[in-house]
């Protein structure tokens, strides 16, 4: 029997501001990590696999041209991994594939699918199947020709009605997964850029070393990996980093785990390995308040860690208590101080526009950000997602425009009752982001690292018109009546 050819498509989605050029792929082109894990699983089974990144270098913006690119490879199965904002692109591409080749089998997975499940299959007939939860085994069994009715995690049609099979169990031992199929990405690693000024060596790469989370933050959609916490061993992480260095020349890795240091023993073991047999690489990671100590921070530094991110979200105690329990402002101050005392950079992660937000809470958070003396900061625009705990009551908390294309943490689709309008919320966001990067103390720290940032500066100069356009989004303006 002829082996099935499987195309895995990462839809571009809408990633910027309405009416503005989408520069996401210039500013920070991220590797579709989950899709590469599925690709590696299929390749290990001997399948022929195409990975098509709609945000990748050279990928056309027009969906019709993307569809033509994929169809030219003549796949038997097309799988999509979609977020909420990229799901509409996935649905349109599936329609184009079916229009041209009705025999193609289409399947979509990802967080949006795992949250909305059967209702999506009912509403989007161009998809033959949906995959809820982890996708490696589900797609592997479909590609092997197994009976769809017997594939755990699959959502299918029976007599025209959407039905869900038994849930897919989690992969208990993540070390059994092959390394992601980075080689299937055109232009990797040089055309997959890490955020500017977050590295000193190039090229960069990304990794995820765990799945699941023990916490239930109100805004976080855990539909795919759910609760619990599974992780790769220290030996696996070390070999993964070594593989990225030896195979692709990577010299910096961003590790995108929410709870990287939650299991202290594995991080101590990893740091000891990196100290005994250095790879000549740097890495960034994220920690949660309560999962760091001075000894561990020193070990991270000695192992090559450059910057540590800390999820803070807000400096308003009532908002923190409601949306991110177990984090206090005093603990945040202490953790930032200790990160920097260990010789590491501290990056704060914040979110504006949560239910209950007011102009007073925004000002309090902005003042707190300045007082921390952070090395970097990211302010996300709160976006309600279907699988998040607060989804069921979001319309009681303010005004919500459920436009999936805009639900990407780059646009305000929700305006809490305590803020006069979307225009005012945008104005406050722009003012406070600009305030951080205009702060004299931050600018002094930045100037002291200019030589370390020479690679980022060179990249910035090469793409100056695009970045200048993006900067103008943060200029204070007049309030929109909307």
pLDDT at position 159 is 95
Strand partners, 399: 415
The pLDDT value given to residue 482: 33
Residue 327: pLDDT above 90?
A: no
Average pLDDT over residues 253-269: 94
pLDDT of residue 477: 44
Nearest to 128 by CA among 104, 101, 151: 104
- pLDDT tier for residue 239 given thresholds of 50, 70 and 90: very high
Percent of the chain with pLDDT over 70: 94
Residue 23, pLDDT > 90, answer no
Q: Is the dihedral of CA 338, 437, 22, 251 positive or negative?
A: negative
Distance CA 326, CA 142 (A): 42
pTM for this predicted structure? 0.93
Q: Length of the chain, please? A: 482
In the block, which residue shows the tokens 């990407």? 408
Q: Are 231 and 266 in contact (CB under 8 A)?
A: yes
pLDDT at 346 over 90: yes
Higher pLDDT, 290 or 274: 274
Angle at CA of residue 405, ends 399 and 409, nearest 5° = 65
Give the tens place of pLDDT for each residue, 381-419.
Answer: 999 999 999 999 999 999 999 999 999 999 999 999 999
The DSSP annotation for 431-474 comes to HHHHHHHH-HHHHHHHHTTTTTTHHHHHHHHHTHHHHHHHHGGG
Domain boundaries, the chain: 5-164, 194-474
CATH class held by domain 5-164:
alpha beta
Cα end-to-end span (Å), the chain: 59
- Helix boundaries (H) for 212-258: 234-248
Q: What is the pLDDT of residues 206-223, one digit of tens each?
A: 999 999 888 888 999 877
- The encoded tokens of residue 26 equal 């210039």
Identify the band that residue 370 occupies on the pLDDT scale cut at 50, 70 and 90: very high
Do residues 126 and 95 lie in contact, with contact meaning Cβ atoms separated by under 8 Å?
A: yes
Determine the average pLDDT of the residues in 10-15. 86
CATH label, 194-474, candidates 3.20.20.70, 3.30.365.10, 3.10.310.30, 3.90.480.10: 3.20.20.70
């Amino acid at each position: 029997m002829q082996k099935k050819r499987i195309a895995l498509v990462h839809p571009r989605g809408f990633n910027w501001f309405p009416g503005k050029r989408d520069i996401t792929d210039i500013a920070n082109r991220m590797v579709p990590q989950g899709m590469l894990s599925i690709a590696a699983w299929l390749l290990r089974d001997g399948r022929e696999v195409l990975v098509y990144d709609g945000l990748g270098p050279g990928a056309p913006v027009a969906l019709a041209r993307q569809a033509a690119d994929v169809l030219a490879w003549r796949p038997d199965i097309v799988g999509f991994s979609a977020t909420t904002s990229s799901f509409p692109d996935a649905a349109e591409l599936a329609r184009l594939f079916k229009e041209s080749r009705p025999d193609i089998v289409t399947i979509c997975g990802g967080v949006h699918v795992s949250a909305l499940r059967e209702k999506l299959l009912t509403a989007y007939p161009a998809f033959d199947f949906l995959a809820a939860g982890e996708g490696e085994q589900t797609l592997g069994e479909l590609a092997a020709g197994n009976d769809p009715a017997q594939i755990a995690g699959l959502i299918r049609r029976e007599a025209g009605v959407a039905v869900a099979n038994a849930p897919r169990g989690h992969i208990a031992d993540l070390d059994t997964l092959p390394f992601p199929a980075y080689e299937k990405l055109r232009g990797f690693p040089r055309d997959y850029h890490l955020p500017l000024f977050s590295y000193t060596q190039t090229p960069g790469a990304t990794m995820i070393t765990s799945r699941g989370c023990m916490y239930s933050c109100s805004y976080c959609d855990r539909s795919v990996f759910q609760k619990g916490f599974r992780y790769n061993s220290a030996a696996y992480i070390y070999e993964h980093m070594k593989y990225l260095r030896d195979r692709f020349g990577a010299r910096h890795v961003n590790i995108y785990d929410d709870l990287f240091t939650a299991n202290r023993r594995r991080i101590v073991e990893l740091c000891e390995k990196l100290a005994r047999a250095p790879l000549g690489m740097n890495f960034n990671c994220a920690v949660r308040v309560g999962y760091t100590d001075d000894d561990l921070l020193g070990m991270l530094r000695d192992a090559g860690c450059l910057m540590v991110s800390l999820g803070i979200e807000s400096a308003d105690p009532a908002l923190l208590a409601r949306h991110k329990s177990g984090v206090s402002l005093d603990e945040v101050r202490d953790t930032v101080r200790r990160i920097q005392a260990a010789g590491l950079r501290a990056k704060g992660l914040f979110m504006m526009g949560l239910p209950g937000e007011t102009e007073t809470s925004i000002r309090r958070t902005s003042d707190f950000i300045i007082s921390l003396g952070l090395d970097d900061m990211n302010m996300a625009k709160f976006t309600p997602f279907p699988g998040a705990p607060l989804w069921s009551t979001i319309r009681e908390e303010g005004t919500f425009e459920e436009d999936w294309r805009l639900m990407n943490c780059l646009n305000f689709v929700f305006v809490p009752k305590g803020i006069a309008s979307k225009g005012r919320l945008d104005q406050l966001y722009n003012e406070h982001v600009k305030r951080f990067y205009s702060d004299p103390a931050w600018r002094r720290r930045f100037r002291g690292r200019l030589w370390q940032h020479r690679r980022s500066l060179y990249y910035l100069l090469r793409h100056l018109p695009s970045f200048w356009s993006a900067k103008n989004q943060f200029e204070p303006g007049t309030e929109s009546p909307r």
